[in-house]
Structure 1
Amino acid sequence: MYGTMKVAIGGPLKVAFRPWVEGLENIPAEGAAILASNHLSFSDSFFLPAVLDRKVTFIAKAEYFTTPGVKGRLTAAFFKGVGQLPVDRSGSRGAGEAAIKSGIEVLERGELFGIYPEGTRSPDGRLYRGKPGGLARVALATGAPVIPVAMIDTEKIQPPGKVMPKLMRPGIRIGKPMDFSRYQGMEHDRFVLRALTDEVMYEIMKLSGQEYVDIYATAAKRQIAEAAKAAKEAEKAEKAEKAEGAGAVEKAEKKQVES
């Protein structure tokens, strides 16, 4: 199914958007490897596999595979066809363990495993702090090399809330494989997990040219949502104040006329 879906989706994607690629020679022709990428758009998981000859397996929300109805079945078939694995995210710790287990299984089969160390899409195009629990643990458990990847301009093709994509050329820069064998047997050391993750994020930053922000993207999204909510409440209060003032003036003018 993967081969069929790759032809059906990858071909049209390359023809329509003409993604440019640098560093394709850094992807091994065979054997396990982890592709650690920045995450700008929902489409990242489609553009990267489209330019590679080998299958890449990413993690996807379980909801994409369990939605009922005809649309749900078609969505599930699509995600399975492009090599995505379902993970239940209802419990954050359970979700993380399931993702790690799935990644290890993919790599033990000698395949490519794709992961977004930021854990979620960037809310503003900047690069955020990588979460050490997934990438580092999978890398140390398998000994697979980590290949940093930078997606370029994919957030401009289909910004959040936009249904129709914009036809423009995204880019993909693939860095040299990173060997972390020096950390083998230290997968329970949180400082090692942090150091490994930071090394990879630094390489992604160099490839992407993004501004780096040393907080998690999930925290940034909360801050943005809270700021938007505060701005909306302030606007509402300002409108109410203006309406109240206008009402007071109207009342005073009416009283003056009556007198």
Structure 2
Amino acid sequence: MLYGAMKVTVGGSLKLAFRPWVEGLEHIPADGPAILASNHLSFSDSFFLPAVLDRKVTFIAKAEYFNTPGVKGRLTAAFFKGVGQLPVDRSGARGAGEAAIKSGIEVLERGELFGIYPEGTRSPDGRLYRGKPGGLARVALATGAPVVPVAMIDTEKIQPPGQVMPKLMRPGIRIGKPLDFSRYQGMEHDRFVLRAVTDEVMYEIMKLSGQEYVDMYATAMKRQLAEAAKAEKAAKAEKAAKNDKAAKNDKAAKAGTDRAGT
């Protein structure tokens, strides 16, 4: 009931304000379980995709959205539950991964749609990064559910990180044909199979999105960017300190020259 109400209010508002265009809606199964595997450009991806679908789709969200105290925290928790997101404690990487897999399997066993971002995190620069094999492939092989590749288009331009007010523009959603991995049934613990399944899905997402593919994990790129930003900040601070010291030395030297001339 809560999902239905939020679907009408949030989904309707998003479609009215942003008018997202969609291709390939016919590839979403009318009933039964399916995994929607999407690229991840923006926080809003988990809202735009459900907004254009007739069926409920459940995504995983970090637990902090559900257990923040106070009135604002309760409203936030109600909102995320209402739009079909499940809390997962991400304090431990391995534990978080297992919890996400378990939640995904439960959603699919109910015959519903489960949404997942194989990259594991938002792209830091709009490019498509290597998919993590632990979640998507394991859930697909454990349940036998088809994997529907999805490409979000331009959602990162609507509300870039750090920008409070979203920009009104049309995002796009391109949905590909379902992928069947039943040939790997029962091999969800074979790391080579998991890698092959994930790479096949990422290739389809790349074709749909037109993104440049980067053969490394987005989390690793984010660490590199953070370290580079930290090094740049340190270099600027060091340069400023040297300039300040040089200015003080020049001032002291000038004062000495003035005293000597009097």
- What percent of counterpart residues are identical? 84
Q: Which residue of 1 aligns with 2:140?
A: 139
Give the total of aligned pairs. Answer: 259
Superposition TM-score, scaled by structure 1 size: 0.99
Structure 1: gaps (5+ residues):
none
Please state if 1:175 is matched with 2:176. yes
Query: Counterpart of 2:60 in 1: which secondary structure?
Result: strand
Structure 2: gaps (5+ residues):
none
Q: Which aligned runs of 4 or more in structure 1 are off by greater than 4 angstroms?
A: none
**Cα shift at 1:249:** 1.2
Q: How far apart are the structure 1 equivalents of 2:249 and 2:97?
A: 58
Q: How far apart are the structure 2 equivalents of 1:48 and 1:150?
A: 10
Q: How far apart are the structure 2 equivalents of 1:21 and 1:68?
A: 37
Q: How far apart are the structure 1 equivalents of 2:64 and 2:208?
A: 32
Q: How far apart are the structure 2 equivalents of 1:249 and 1:120?
A: 50
Q: Which residue of 2 aligns with 1:233?
A: 234
Please state if 1:220 is matched with 2:244. no
Q: How far apart are the structure 1 equivalents of 2:255 and 2:73?
A: 62
Q: How far apart are the structure 2 equivalents of 1:247 and 1:214?
A: 49
Q: Which residue of 1 aligns with 2:96?
A: 95
Q: How far apart are the structure 2 equivalents of 1:42 and 1:253?
A: 56
Please state if 1:78 is matched with 2:91. no
* CA deviation map 1:52-105 (0-9, x unaligned): 000000001111111111111111110110000111111111110010000000
Quick one: which amino acid aligns to residue 64 of structure 1? Y
Q: Which residue of 1 aligns with 2:47?
A: 46
Q: How far apart are the structure 1 equivalents of 2:34 and 2:221?
A: 30
Q: Which residue of 2 aligns with 1:184?
A: 185
Query: Counterpart of 1:205 in 2: which secondary structure?
Result: helix
**Cα shift at 1:251:** 1.1
What is the alpha-carbon root mean square deviation over aligned residues? 0.6
